[in-house]
Structure formats: C-alpha cells, structure tokens
Amino acid sequence: MDETVERSKKPKSVRGGGAALALAVALLMSALTIPAAAVDISSVQTLIPVGHTVGIKLFSRGVLVVKLADGETPAKACGLAAGDVIVQCAGSTVTSTEQFQSLLQDAAGESAKLEVHRGSKTLDLSVTPNDSDGDGKYAIGAWIRDSMAGIGTMTFYDPNSNTFGALGHGVTDVDTAALMPFSAGSILPSTVKMVKRGETGAAGELKGDFDLTGDTGNLYANTSGGVFGTLTDQELIERFSKNPLPVAENDQVHDGKATILANVDGDEVKEYEIQITKILNTDAAGRNLLITVTDPELLEKTGGIVQGMSGSPILQDGRLVGAVTHVLLGDPTRGYGILIRNMLKNS
C-alpha cells in the first residue's frame, strides 16, 4: 500500500442529476501562499535528518477527474477519462472545483472547449454540459478533486538553502493513483495524538492535529521522490538547524543494522532500530530498500510501519541514507524505502 498522506478532501461532484458532496476540510482552502522557486540540492554533502510529522496541504494544477458517473453523460460523450486533468474550460484557466462548476454553469448547455492533460499528452475536447435534473444547474457527469490534506513526515532540512523534503514519494490521488498535478501547497505544524496499530492485511496510521493558525513552509514540488519546499517559520528553522549528517552515496548503503527517526507520540522524535534486509535497486526513485522494523518499543507502539511515517529518515553508519516510503500489507513490520540520493534527484 502506498504510504501517502492521509486524505481528508473528498471529490466534488459535477455529475448531471447529482448533488455535490460537502467538502470535508473547506478551511484548508484559505490563505495559500505561492511557493518559492525550486532549489537544486541534489549534490549536497550534509543534511539535517528531521523525522517530525507535518500537516501537508496540496492544491492541484487544474482539477483532477476522479471518476465518471454511470450512464450516458457529457463527460463520457466528449472523451474524458478518470485520471485526466482539466486545466482550461471555455478559454479560462481552471483553478478550483467551484470555479470549474461556475464555468460549466456559464456555458448553459452550449459547447465549451476543454484543455485536458492525460499523462504527457495535451488533449483539446469539447463538452456540452446538461441540466439533467431540470433545476437549472448544468453539469457534465464527473467527480473532480482540486486538493488534498493529511499527515506525513519531514525527512530532511538543508539550512544552507532553507529547503526541506518529506514523504519520500509523491502525493497520489486515492481514487486514480495518479500523481497529484501540483500547483501550490504548504506544511502545517502537527502533533501525533494517537496511533492505529498496523495489522496483517490492514495498514495502521498516525492520527494527529493540524495547527491551522498559520503555514510553516511552502511546497514547490510534488514528485515521485517526495514533496519539497522551503521553511518560513523561524522557530522551526532554529529547531531543525542542528546535528547535520553526511549524505550517503548509493554505493555506501548496505544490508544490515540501521535506524529511523520517527514521531509517533506527541511532539517527540525518537530513534528506532531497523534492518535493511535487501538493496532492491539503486537506479531511480521508488522502492530501493527492503526494511524490517526490529525495535521492540516501536513494534509495541505501532506494529511496525504505519501511514504517516512516510518520509521517516533512515540512518546507517553515521549517514543519512534514505527515507521510509511504503508498508507491506501482509507484514506491517516490513516495508520499503527510497535511497536519499534518489530522493534528492527529484527535488
């Protein structure tokens, strides 16, 4: 199972004849700061491993089509598919689910041109919204999403560039498994309130509170190797600007004893023992390492690896070597990690 952030944003319905789902966390849509430009940290020699959970909110570029409604609908007729990203409608840039619905309403049954991204392809489609319920509300018969929010773990902080990386994998849509098309995002202070232990066949998770009083950092990228951004909160900058470690090269990582830094209780980050049981590959971002949790305290607390621990830094031989990314559903004591150099290449 992909160890992505815990999703708390439901898709909006723009389906003919259906009422829109209520937004679970509408408050997260406010006060978004445009992120700073990306910084090249792929060749850094030292980084500060963090291991603290953070709240993550991410806003998509355009709106993501989550699924199509049953039956004959305008969305199906024009060729839309789940996983498509609608970036323009009727000549206007699409910025949110609500704005897209407004553009469809403005079309009032007339054909509207859509610019759609499907993977690396750009498609020009034409859709004619209908009023299938006869209530004056025009729709196309699709479920769409424009944002996500949840908890993940910050892997590292670089005081020289004020840059951080988290998760060790990208934020993907829960319904389509597609990488969420990135527009902007930020991180929030987070405290772990409880743990749902992992069990065979069921992933556990960290549950915590977001502090919605203010962002503490801006995201600039959502990639297959993690999410990346810059810190803006001076207290966090001072807290994380301690104890740098050398960054391991891929060929310095080996089977054997290692540790992870994880925040599974309150505000405390602790070091726990693991084994790197196998180096699977070193070529690209993904499942580079097979790991096993061996620390009795962590096993008692979480059962192993749980959702929310994605991004927990992996340390070996006094170096930062990688980050936790996935858990094995058949055995929550085991999971996968990404090599830190592969993570940095995606920053």
Catalytic residues: 169, 295, 310
Beta pairing partners, 173:
none
Contacts of 309 (CB under 8 A, 6+ apart): 3, 153, 206, 260, 262, 264, 302, 324
Secondary structure in 3-state letters for the chain: CECCCCCCCCCEECCCCCCCCCCCCHHHHCCCCCCCCCCCCCCCCEEEECCCEEEEEEEEEEEEEEEECCCCCHHHHHCCCCCCEEEEECCEECCCHHHHHHHHHHHCCCCEEEEEEECCEEEEEEECCECCCCCCCCECCEEEEEEEEEEEEEEEEECCCCEEEECCCCCECCCCCCECCEEEEEEEEEEEEEEECCECCECCEEEEEECCCCCCEEEEEEECCEEEEEECCHHHHHHHCCCCEEECCHHHCCCEEEEEEEEEEECEEEEEEEEEEEECCCCCCCCCEEEEECCHHHHHHHCCCCECCCCCEEEECCEEEEEEEEEECCEEEEEEEEEHHHHHHCC
Closest of 150, 229, 151, 144 to residue 184, by C-alpha: 229
